[in-house]
Amino acid sequence: MKHSAYRAFEPVSFSQVTIEDAFWGPRLQINREKTIPHIYHMCQQTGRLDAYRLDWKPGDEHIPHQFWDSDVAKWIEAASYSLVSMPDPALDALLDEVIALIASAQQADGYLNPHYTVVEPDKRWANLRHGHELYCAGHLIEAAVAHFQATGKSTLLTVACRYADYIATIFGQEPGMKRGYCGHEEIELALVKLYRVTHNTRYLQLSQYFIDERGQTPCYFDTEPAPDYHALGLEYHQAHQPVREQTEVVGHAVRAMYLYSAMVDLFCETGDETLLQACKRLWHHLCSKRMFLTGGIGSSMLNEGFSSDYDLPNDTAYAETCAAIGLVLWCHRMLQVECDAQYTDIMERALYNGVLSSVSQDGTTFFYVNPLATQADLARQRWFDCACCPTNITRLLASFGHYIYSQNEHELVVHLYVQGTVRAKIQGQPVVLRQETAYPWDGRVNLTVELEGPVEFALRLRIPGWSSGAMLMVNGERVDLNGLSEHGYAKIERVWSNADRLTLFFPLPLVRMYASPEIAADIGLVALQRGPLVYCLESIDNAVPLHRLVLPRTSAVQIVDESDSGLDGVVTGIADALAVGSTDWEEATLYRPQPPGMQPAALKAIPYYLWGNRGVTTMRVWLHEQSI
């Protein structure tokens, strides 16, 4: 893997990370044992795999769709990552079989897309705005890189390189080439990955072309014969301005996150500060005006994306799973440039809430959207016609270890608190760091350094932005965190010896969260959060309809370790509340001049990521609060 010249840190590969965590461990195991096989089965059942046989004819079932390729590619990526931590000869062989099938569909010139090969062979590159050809190519490239890194096999990597080489002959500014780019960003970041593995600068240059060309005038999309059938304008594709001039997150949320991720990647390789500064502006706008408490993004179903500042409705929140995953990808890239906890805090918020809520506890059903309130009208599904979210969540979980640590020659950074070990080399010396923790249920984290001999380096430990009163001890002695803090990380620089031990402690009360007064949907409401976990209410736990519950500001919220109700090991919250009464209200009376009475009620809250696992239910994150 090529080192990136302009980022301060490199992620520690998940191949160097062992996860033995009571929270994440079972989820990763379910992802491997249930979700990855389930997605393969659905790709079989729906014709996504057979599409590569190129034998479809008009009138046949399962018409190969223009973005089916991406689902298969993301399955390959997830399965490849899985092989690193959980070797499986049968899965390895299955991957070889699927890759051989994909390779057989590649055309003589390198082109590879079943839909445009057999369904619309005369439409190749004719609809870049909505056609998803380059998007699918990007996911194929990402899958190829993952498979090569996991197995050392180059079959799919060779296919991806042939395809990328062909694409490089089609797109560019030279005479006779297309001045276009994809309506759905993805290939930009994939090409940087391919460059880092192959060291072929052609791929980096092609990524740079796609990023630089987006938003230029005249817009290439306006020259295409295919109509803009979404009629959502150029902002939908982030093509309304050159990327360096953009100041607001707009349009389709997933596309935006992939574009911004690619912009950071390109900065890391070229040092183009204008790209980084644009990302910082966009980051600030997103986090200060257009993000849900859960780390979900994209409020509107109309464009699967952003609407206007502070438009953050709860029951109609779109918050697509892929968008939250894209936010994690962007956060993680920004972290490597600047080790700043503002990025990690949002990455953690999205991971524990906006992402994890999307997959069921058994790993076989999924949410596409993740609202913050429902009226028992939403349930996870086994599959979707547009199956981007199930395939995206499985590849993220399979590579979860990638997001925990970073390093450079002189420092090792802990971003997330997850029990297990990391093996790194600092100044050429092997360093093992072992985490022991029950986070996020418990705020204590024990870290042990294992070395062959003394090594001088800095260890950076994130102090989460949600924490208050954090404490740190090194070899039993308390140290002043204020004196060690750099951008939300405690930096402990010293000569470390074998068995040196650190203990971090974060108090974990269940606290009340309030929204900006500019968010009309949340005026007079309160939410609950404990550590990184946002909480919600489900009707299954509460006898009173959720819309009638009121939490007095003076009411203490108690935490409870659960051992029943399908919530074993989970910390829930209970409180004395009030219910807007209905006993004194006649059913036939719709309005009256007298207010309803208030009655005592009990309230129970569970972590948001768990909602919807015990049947179809009413749910809400934001609750009415009585301030007096």
The set of catalytic residues is: 304, 388
Contact (Cβ atoms closer than 8 angstroms) between residue 151 and residue 83: yes
**Which helix H or strand E contains 460, and what residues bound it?**
strand 455-462
Give 433's Cβ-side CA count (13 Å radius). Answer: 31
Rounded CA-CA distance 623/377 in Å is: 19
Rounded CA-CA distance 250/239 in Å is: 10
3-state helix, strand, coil in the chain (%, to 5): 40, 20, 40
**φ, ψ dihedrals at 575, nearest 5°:** -155, 155
Count of other CB atoms within 10 angstroms of residue 484: 18
Rounded CA-CA distance 191/187 in Å is: 6
Largest Cα–Cα separation, the chain: 80
Rounded CA-CA distance 142/148 in Å is: 10
Rounded CA-CA distance 71/392 in Å is: 8
Q: Kindly list the distances between the CA atom of residue 611 and the CA atoms of 371, 373, 531, 566, in Å, as whole numbers in the listed order.
A: 11, 11, 18, 11
Cis before 218? omega within 30:
yes
What is the amino acid identity at position 165? D
Rounded CA-CA distance 384/391 in Å is: 11
Helices 388-398, 68-85: crossing angle, 10 deg rounding:
20
Rounded CA-CA distance 518/522 in Å is: 9
Residue the block writes with tokens 């306006």: 222
**φ, ψ dihedrals at 587, nearest 5°:** -60, -35
The residues pairing with 530 across neighbouring beta strands, listed in sequence order, are 510, 533
Contact (Cβ atoms closer than 8 angstroms) between residue 214 and residue 242: yes
Contact (Cβ atoms closer than 8 angstroms) between residue 450 and residue 498: yes
Residue the block writes with tokens 């209905």: 582
Rounded CA-CA distance 260/330 in Å is: 7
Print the SS3 string covering 287-299.
Answer: HHHCECCCCCECC
**Which helix H or strand E contains 343, and what residues bound it?**
helix 341-349
